[in-house]
Structure 1
């Protein structure tokens, strides 16, 4: 057996595997004997099928399988032994079309294209500068959060006349261009949230309405989200695109308004526990602290993105693009050429950052441990439970059971592994580079690029 590789250039190479009969026949003979022991064929007792019969009947198929397996194993071993930093997987050369007899006496030669990762230096040192933002809650953000909290613990009222932000319980009837009801058209009774209406003119038309008042609205103009349209009309979301006409008569049945909770001790106790907060000033500072603690994640995301963009900008390398496109087509045969071209630039960006991450991990002995992936899975599950079933506190043992079940899904496990890897690299880089801390209000932070 002989295996070698030839560099076409710095990022493309060809691996060639040569096999003589003595290289593959021992494995083929072993496979044929194992098949004979397992075979159940008419006229033969189980496990007593002659080896010669298996060779004669299935020999070429077994030979093909074993040769392919041997070639694949040898190429993978060669890549590992020679520490070749490859991209994707080896692909058979398209012009490698040898005509073999497959009679157990052939000398085989197989050639495979490989793409090589470009050489580069990690572009981050202790002299690389970044800004780490400490986001403070501006007054508008603070007031918005306080308003939402008060509404969450408020009471529903039924005023006579509608105002902005009210919910109209109304009957909707599909009408034609003349304003007449469409025969057999859509009719439904539902709650219409005026705060979700996007069109200003339509939103204004829903203010000042009383019970039994009527107004005509175009639901496709009124709402951006098809899910909102589907809900108020009682139809499937996929039916919204073909909805014609999209004009409906809205007849008010009731006006609902959520009155905000009073800023009193009862409200403070419900939010923070009995006696923890006793004044409006303490309440505002408590909410400010909670808002700013949530904004830490926004600051981290900004820093991560700045590091990502800096890494992409600092490294100017070539990739084996022709090879990578062939590999993507081979592994995703359903992808169309225009789809491949459209997403290829983003693919190269992600590939470049993945190479940077892997280089940082390798050079610094970083390691992603199973316990870390399990811990992240438990965090994600606990957050979901808190979101959908407030007040329910699963035990650590229950979370562990849910997490192990989640990690049994290969796709989910890979996603969480990549998250832990990204966090580990981010933490390492935060400790390496020079960070300049800067306070900024949230509204100003949103203006940053």
Structure 2
């Protein structure tokens, strides 16, 4: 058996030659194994002669064994030659025209192509400079968070007169004969037109007002309110509706008292409004640390993608995508190809960083990340709930039993591992900034 390759641009052309002595021992063994297991009419189980199996199924077994042998040898060869490949080997174009007798005497010559990852220098070193933002909660952001918390633990009331932000349970009747009529809840806080919003303040039960629903609501909200499709909402021929109030619903914010504090934190931990505000500020700014890290990661990604200028074997990759995703159309491949190349490029950069620096991703780290995500989700809905370590372990194992979720978390750990490495090898400047100013950075 001979196997060799030739590099042409970013393609490796692999040639493999098989003589009868290379494949017949494996074929003979496969035939004998089949004879022992075969159940055929006229023969006792396990007593079918190998010669009968060879005559009846020999060519199929030969075909399967040669395919298996080729896959094994090419895989071993790629590892041995340390080829950094893209995709999987594909038969070279025109290979399907090769003619063989499949009579156990053929000498086979197969040609494959495989994409090769481009060569480049990793651009992250001490000369690369980035900014890590220390994001502070400005007054408006902090006030909004406190308002949301108070509303989350507030109570629903039914006042006699409507105010801005109320939810009106009302009938909407289209201003035409036989038009749409729907009794539903209307949130006044999502109304876009200031004049219409003002017209819904000061209403009482059974009061009516005419509004232009296309001016009042976005298409998706209007479709939901009227119980129609978005297309129907977009194409309404008459947009004037009469809104008649049936009931007024108002969510009263929870009072800033001990009962409220103890719902959010451990009993007695917070006893004053000042302590409450400080706690919320701490919680918000801890969340901002994740936002800051994400910004830094995005900046590093952009830097790396700009600095690494490489070419890919695009025609091979398109053939590989089609071969491995036969339901994809040519148009779909073309439309998604630029994003595919960007993802591939960053994956190669990450993998080079991991390989060059012997970074290791451990299963325990994936489990810990799963537990961290689960803990954050639990705390999001209940500040005061503290899941036990046993519960977190159980939830994490359930999450990781889903292959898709496990792969996602593995890739996230990999990304975090690379991020931590890069942070320790580039220059990081710290800058304090209010959240409202931070939001304007990438605009």
TM-score by shorter chain over 0.5:
yes
Instruction: Tell me which residue corresponds to 1:441.
Output: 434
Q: 1:297 aligns with which of 280, 290, 295?
A: 290
Instruction: Tell me which residue corresponds to 2:311.
Output: 318
* Paired residues for 1:242-391 under 5 Å: 242=232, 245=236, 249-387=242-380
Instruction: Tell me which residue corresponds to 1:19.
Output: 18
Instruction: Tell me which residue corresponds to 1:89.
Output: 88
Measured on the aligned residues, the alpha-carbon RMSD in Å equals 2.4
Which deviates more, 377-386 or 315-324? 377-386
> 5+ unaligned residues in a row in structure 1: which ranges?
none
**1:241 and 2:226 are equivalent in the alignment:** no
**1:55 and 2:54 are equivalent in the alignment:** yes
Work out the CA distance in 2 between the residues paired with 1:284 and 1:394. Answer: 25
Instruction: Tell me which residue corresponds to 2:411.
Output: 418
Report how far residue 190 of structure 1 moved: 3.1
**Taking structure 1 as reference, are residues 273 and 39 closer, same or farther at Cα in structure 2, changes over 3 Å only?**
same
Work out the CA distance in 2 between the residues paired with 1:71 and 1:199. Answer: 69
Work out the CA distance in 2 between the residues paired with 1:130 and 1:324. Answer: 34
Instruction: Tell me which residue corresponds to 2:394.
Output: 401
Report how far residue 388 of structure 1 moved: 6.0
Instruction: Tell me which residue corresponds to 1:212.
Output: 206
Contact residue 168 and residue 248 of structure 2 kept, 8 A = yes
Return the TM-score normalized by structure 2. 0.91
How many residue pairs get aligned? The number is 438
**Taking structure 1 as reference, are residues 355 and 333 closer, same or farther at Cα in structure 2, changes over 3 Å only?**
same
Deviations 1:19-76 (A, max 9, x none): 1111111111111111122222222222222212221121111111111111011100
Which deviates more, 430-439 or 341-350? 341-350
Work out the CA distance in 2 between the residues paired with 1:341 and 1:201. Answer: 47
Which deviates more, 76-85 or 215-224? 215-224
Instruction: Tell me which residue corresponds to 2:112.
Output: 112
Contact residue 265 and residue 383 of structure 2 kept, 8 A = no
**1:36 and 2:35 are equivalent in the alignment:** yes
SS at the partner of 1:208?
A: coil
SS at the partner of 2:336?
A: helix
SS at the partner of 1:241?
A: helix
Deviations 1:89-124 (A, max 9, x none): 111112122111111111111111111111111101
Work out the CA distance in 2 between the residues paired with 1:205 and 1:181. Answer: 26
**Taking structure 1 as reference, are residues 155 and 414 closer, same or farther at Cα in structure 2, changes over 3 Å only?**
closer
Which deviates more, 433-442 or 384-393? 384-393
